[in-house]
Amino acid sequence: MTPDYARLGFDVVRGAFSAAEVADLRAAFDRVAAMAKALAQALPDDGPPTACMHRGAQFVIARAGLNTRIHRVVWCGAADRTLLDVGADPRLLNLAAEALGHREFDHLINQAHYKLPGDTVQFPWHQDSVHRRYGTPMWTDVDGSGSYVQVAIALDSVAAENGPLAFIPGSHLQGHIPPREDGSLPPDSFDPATAIAPTLSAGDVVLFGPYTIHGSGANTSDRPRRVLINGYASPGANRRVYPGDGAGRRLRVPD
């Protein structure tokens, strides 16, 4: 575990992916976005975000007139092999190994976030432990420090104006915080004024643990803020079946 990951609950690895690799991932995002657009034609105008399974991935999308709002594409790699393969990239697996202290994982999350200009998509402050179903029979923190790590690859440069991921440094030290009935975190559990939103270049990677409070606001710029997110769990932690063909596959750091 890097010192920053241990102290802050997140860390940034600069230049993990080359410009050519980023170009391939962007092309895959474009192919998946074209699928989302075609699927959205069947949705009512201005309806709520709707989950549609297509080619083994779950598209959570809405239609606004001629525009498609892509909230997320869950297990996107089922729909586009390039995105699945990068989830097994040794660079990511080595980061997960360093964070979790072992070399084998259940690959739970392989998710595309687009945050295109004007799409208003945002992610309120939360801990990923809630999404992993902490506190239910579906999740056990087998290693006592979260048993999960999430790694986001930036496909665009990220700054204040295009909806950066922001983290509350040190918030992971509180462990899991039971959310309120509406799903929000208790206001006394963190101070948003302390948030850090790392500026990223395309190809940088940011990793964070399941107890690190994080979120992101709307993209108010005229350029996208795409990230590919992969999430790895310690074997034995998860008992939930995730949407997507092949989700939850077992991966190992190559010898």
Ligand X SMILES: O=C(O)CCC(=O)C(=O)O
Question: Minimum CB separation from ligand X for residue 45, in Å?
Answer: 25
> Residue 143 has which token pair?
């290693």
Q: Kindly identify the residues of this chain, within the stretch 150-209, that bind ligand X according to CB under 6 A.
A: 150, 165
Measured from the Cβ of residue 187, the count of other Cβ atoms closer than 10 Å reads: 10
CA distance 75 to 55: 10
One residue of 36, 70, 229, 237 binding ligand X per CB under 6 A: 229
Rounded CA gap, 215 and 114, in Å? 15
Nearer to ligand X, 109 or 255 (CB): 109
**Measured from the CB of residue 42, what is the shortest distance to ligand X in angstroms?**
26
Site for ligand X in 50-109 (CB under 6 A): none
Q: Identify whether the C-beta of residue 146 lies closer than 8 Å to the C-beta of residue 127.
A: no
Taking the complex as a whole, how short is the minimal distance between the CB of residue 60 and ligand X, in angstroms?
Answer: 13
Angstrom distance (rounded) from CA 96 to CA 89? 11
Report CA torsion sign: 192, 198, 202, 203: negative
The answer to whether residue 227 forms part of the interface with ligand X (CB under 6 A) is yes
Least distance to ligand X from the beta carbon of 115, Å?
A: 6
Q: How far is the CB of 254 from ligand X (least distance, A)?
A: 26
Say which amino acid occupies 117.
P
Q: Which residues bind ligand X (CB under 6 A)?
A: 113, 123, 128, 150, 165, 214, 216, 227, 229
